[in-house]
Chains A and B, each alone.
Chain A
Amino acid sequence: MIYSKELDSNFKLLIAKEPGGENIKRCFSCGTCTAGCPVREVTDRYNPRKIIRMALLGMKKEVLSSQFIWLCSSCYTCYERCPQDVRIPELMNAIKNIAVREGYMPPAMKVQIELLSSHGRLLEVTEFENDKRKESGLPLFQGRTEDVKRILKELGFYHEEERGPS
C-alpha cells in the first residue's frame, strides 16, 4: 500500500537537479526500458519503469534504501531506445549519488573506494604482475597513485584515520 502522506513530492525535483537525472519528469511509463532490459530478463527484482514511477510518486525512502537501484548493468540499451530521452542509466546513477549522500552506500562500493584509494585502481599491480610484464616484454607499471586517494579524500569519500593497519 502507498500512503500519500508518506510521499515526498520534492523527490523528483531533487533527482532532476542531479547530473544525469535532468529528464526524469519526461517519463510517460511506456515500459520500453523494461521490455528490452537484459537484467530484467533474468530477475524481476529490477524494473526500471517501476523505479522511475516510484521516484516520480515521491517514494523517496523506498527508492534510496532499495537494493534494486544498484542492479542496473549500465548496458545503455534503454538509453538508446527511450522515446523520451530519459537517459535511464544516468538517471539511476543520479539516484545512486543521492542514496550515497543519504547514507545508503552498499558494501560493494565501500570495498571499491578502499581499493581505489589504496592503489589508484581496482586491482593492485604487484611485483608478481610486473614480473610477468617483464617476462612478456611489456613496459612496467607504476603500482599506485596518490592522486585518486586525494580526490576521494577531498570529496569526503575516504577517511584515512578510520583505516585499520593494512
Chain B
Amino acid sequence: MKKREDHLKDTSYTLFLGCTVPVRALNYEIAARKVAGALDIRFHDIPDFSCCGYPIKSISHHAYLLMAARNLALAEAKGHSVCTLCSSCGGSLAEANHELQEDKNLRQRINEDLYGWLGLRYEGEVQVLHFARILHRKIGAEKIGGKIRADLSSLRVAPHYGCHYTKPSAIHGRAEDPEDPKSLDELIRATGAQSLSYEDKLSCCGGGVLAFDEQVALGMAQKKLEHIHARQADAIVLICPFCNVMYESNQKKIEKVFQKEYKLPVLFYPQLLGLALGFEPDELGLKMNRIRTTDLMKKIVRRPA
C-alpha cells in the first residue's frame, strides 16, 4: 500500500495512448505533451503497449482482463502510474485494475495465463488516472491559473465530460459526483474561458454503439450538438478521442443525415489550456482539427510576454 501512496505524490507518469489517439487524434497527444511539459508533468513511454482490452470485454471478460493486465504489468515494471488520454482506456484499465487489486484469487488466475503465455506478472501496484484528473487533482486549477499568458475570457465553450472519465464512480475512487461533475468546468475556467451549462450536458457521445448501429450513434451525438448549438458556444471541449470521433470526425455526416448545420469547433482540453498558456496554435496540433477554429482564435487576446 505504501507504494501506491508514493505514486500519488509523483508527477511522473507512463503515458498510455491506446488505439485511437496515435491514429485519429494526434493533435490531442501533441497538445497533452506540450502542456504537461509546461506544468512539470513528466511522461514516460512504453512503445509495446497494446489495446487496453475494452473492445474485447463484450466477447470475453477473461480475455479483457488479460489484455488490460498485460498493459498494467508493463507499466508496473516501469514503476510509474499510468496516465491515459482516452477516457475509455482509462475506464477499462481502471476497472480491470480495481478487480485485480480487490480479488487476489482472480489476480492469481490471470497471472497464471499472463505468465504462461507472455512471461508477465501483475502485482496490482499501478494507479490509473486520466490526464484531466491529474491536471485537476495533482496540479490544480489555482496553479494552472497562475501560468496563464493569454486572455480567453470572451470564449464561451461547452464542456463534454463523456462517460468513462467519471463512471462507474466506484472504480475511480469516487473522484467526483458522476451526476454533477465539476472538474472539467473548473479546468476550463482556470484557462480564463467561460464554461457553459447546457441541456443534457452529461449525455453519452454514442461512440460505444458506432460499430453496431451507426444511425443510433449519430442520433445520440446529434442531440448534444443541437443543445450546444442552442447556447451559441464557440467550441465543445472534450477529453476523449472517441468522443472526438463522434463530434468532430462525424460532424459533417451528422449535418447531412439530420439536415442541420453546426460547424462547431471541437477542442481537446489540452489544446484550450495550451492556448491559455501562450503556446502557438501549431505547437498544439490545431491545424489537424477538422472543424475550422479561425473564428474562435480571433477571440483570444495574447498578452505581451
Contact = CB atoms under 8 A, between A and B. Distances in A.
Interface residues of A, number: 60
B278 interface: no
A74 B209 CA distance: 9
Interface of A: 18-20, 38-39, 41-43, 45-46, 67, 70-77, 79-80, 87, 92-94, 96-97, 100, 105-106, 108-109, 111-113, 116, 120-125, 129, 132-133, 136, 138-142, 145, 147-148, 150-152, 154-155, 157
B175 to A, nearest CB: 13
Per DSSP, chain B at the interface is helix
B58 A133 contact: no
Contact of A67 (B29, B62, B212, B285): B212
B202 to A, nearest CB: 8
Contacts, number: 166
Interface string B14-25: 000011101110
Contact of B223 (A42, A71, A139): A42
Contact of A74 (B33, B163, B217): B163
A141 B26 contact: no
B6 interface: no
B59 A39 contact: no
Given A73-B207, A112-B211, A116-B56, A20 B61 contact: yes
Contact of A79 (B45, B168, B206): B168
Given A76-B167, A133-B22, 15 more contacts: A72-B208, A73-B208, A75-B208, A80-B168, A97-B58, A97-B61, A121-B18, A129-B22, A129-B26, A142-B48, A145-B50, A147-B117, A152-B56, A154-B113, A154-B117
